[in-house]
Structure 1
Amino acid sequence: MFGIMAASEMFIFNEGSRRITVMSARSQRRGRTTPKQSNASLLPVYIGIGVVLLVGVILLAIGASGSKPPTGTTTISDASLAGYPTMGKADAPVTVVEFGDYQCPGCAAYANDQGKKIKESYVDTGKVKFVFHELPISSHAHAYVAAQAARIAGDQGKFWEMHELLFAKQTEWAPLSPAQVKVKFSEYAQELGLDVTAFNQSLESNKYRSEIDKASQESLAAGIQSTPSFVINGKIYQASGLDQAIEAALAGK
């Protein structure tokens, strides 16, 4: 065995074991290596790891169950939904009510992705009747006029087409001024093949002002506090739990 000193460390070569051991100058001065930490001192570490693993198992179990609890309840009934835009079979076994705001980014994210899948899987197959309940938030400058634009398009049988277009192009019209946004909505009406003159006249006259006001008041009275929110059998859900909630309702749970 021989050693080579380099700076503050010594590299020791043991011919028998064919190993190289690195010893710091500090260890050499002490004449012994640093003692190993006792098992007792590591006990808190082991306990902490165990707790983390246990929590992880619990969270995985919850996620595997595929269900999320409702965030609240509401008193809105089917009778109170008369006059709201509806799609799907009138006698579908499950009714889903969306409370939405056309300028809400979360509502657009739902409509442009999950909403299309919900329609294909449940509405188009006759399992769900879907109702859109306007809830324009006051901090969104154009949400109110957008809600009217969709209703006015509905006068010419194109509510859902305008509904989808407003969400699909939300980032296009949301930054505009009030005057510019009406021009943009008029362009959408033309794109959908509507009578643009009639559309513009209805938009300028605030044709659906009372209906949108009523929708907002009813939403707040029902305890709806955010958009998008969804109601099934009097229970309020968020978009993340909607598919599971529909399946549970179809199963009679």
Structure 2
Amino acid sequence: MSTRSQRGRAVQTKKSGGASRTLYIVMGAAVLLVIAIAATVALQNRQTAATPGREPGRTAANIPAGVDNNGFFFKGNDNAPVIVTEFSDFQCPGCAYYATVLSPQFEQEYIATGKVKFVYHEYPLSGHVNGAPAAYAARCAGEQGADKYWAMHDYLFTNQRQWSVQSDPRAQFVAYARQIGLDTAAFEQCYASSRFRDAINQAKASGDALRLPGTPSFAVNGQLVDTTGANSVEEIYARMRQAVDAALAGQ
């Protein structure tokens, strides 16, 4: 009896140990799976996370905005005596300098006063891989209102160093969309569709046809401002102002 009992316990112990090991293996595998999933999610979050952008400086308030017959966004009096068109790349540092440093003065003196209708013509340079995507983001913002286009325009230039170095700036653009109060789901759907790709390509082609010397470039009442020999954005801006003043004087 004693031997059988001991053998019975021995056999039982052996079976119990095998089941326990199997259970431990299953549990260990489950834990490793959970860790792997958590690590994947964390990596994805790290790749797509976006830091909110800096708020742009204040611009003149209550300036009307709209879209012209060629699909380009403008601000100012639609019937202003002078039309200024800026050919610009959202990833161009000189364009960012104009937008953040020089344009507030021009906006206050010429646009807010009704003298100038200011049109933004996207001209993404081939060497700037995020220039076209930024233009898509601005156009998608513009679907929710012309004022939203200009809000995205300002965020893109104010935070150019933040998104321009990213391999995929989509999440960063969505962060800006959230900051300016867009319907982010609609914005993301628009951006993912790339439905403005052809429009931006056409905008680039029309700029190429003018043989633009670079960005930013300006046209006043359809006449490209001569910037031959200009060594700075300030000098380009000064020549544009001179052309505007001459056009206003001739009214």
Q: Is residue 153 of structure 2 the alignment partner of residue 163 of structure 1? A: yes
Q: TM-score, normalised by structure 2?
A: 0.66
Could you tell me which of 208, 215, 240 is aligned with 2:238?
240
Q: Which of 162, 169, 182 is matched with 1:172 structurally?
A: 162
Q: Deviations over 1:131-163 (max 9, x none)?
A: 011100010010000001001101111000000
Structure 1 gap segments, 5+ residues each? 1-79
Match of 1:201 among 189, 197, 204: 189
Match of 2:74 among 71, 82, 86: 86
CA RMSD, Structure 1 to Structure 2 (Å): 1.4
1:134-149 correspondence to structure 2 within 5 Å: 134-149=122-137
Residue identity (%): 44
Runs of 4 or more above 6 Å deviation: none
Q: Normalising to structure 1: TM-score of the pair?
A: 0.66
**Deviation (angstroms), 1:114:** 1.0
Contact 1:148 1:208 (8 Å CA) reproduced: yes
| Equivalent residue, structure 2, for 1:221 | 209
- Measured at CA, do residues 81 and 222 of structure 1 come closer, stay the same or move farther in structure 2, by a change above 3 Å? farther
1:189–1:199 contact (8 Å) kept in structure 2: yes
Displacement of 1:81 = 5.7
Structure 2 unaligned spans of 5+: 1-67, 226-235
For 1:168, give the aligned amino acid: T
Aligned to 2:30: none
Q: Which residues in structure 2 correspond to 1:1-253 (within 5 Å)? A: 82-157=70-145, 158-178=148-168, 181-237=169-225, 238-252=236-250
Distance (whole Å) between structure 1 residues aligned to residue 165 and residue 191 of structure 2: 19
Paired residue total: 172
What secondary structure does 2:144 align onto?
A: coil
Greater fraction strand: 1
Answer whether contact 1:228 1:239 (CA < 8 A) is retained: no
Contact 2:220–2:240 under 8 Å retained in 1 = no
SS of the residue corresponding to residue 121 of structure 2 reads strand
Other-structure match for 2:45: none
Q: Which has the higher helix share?
A: 2
CA distance in 1, matches of 2:143, 2:151: 12
**Counterpart of 2:91 in structure 1: which amino acid?**
Q
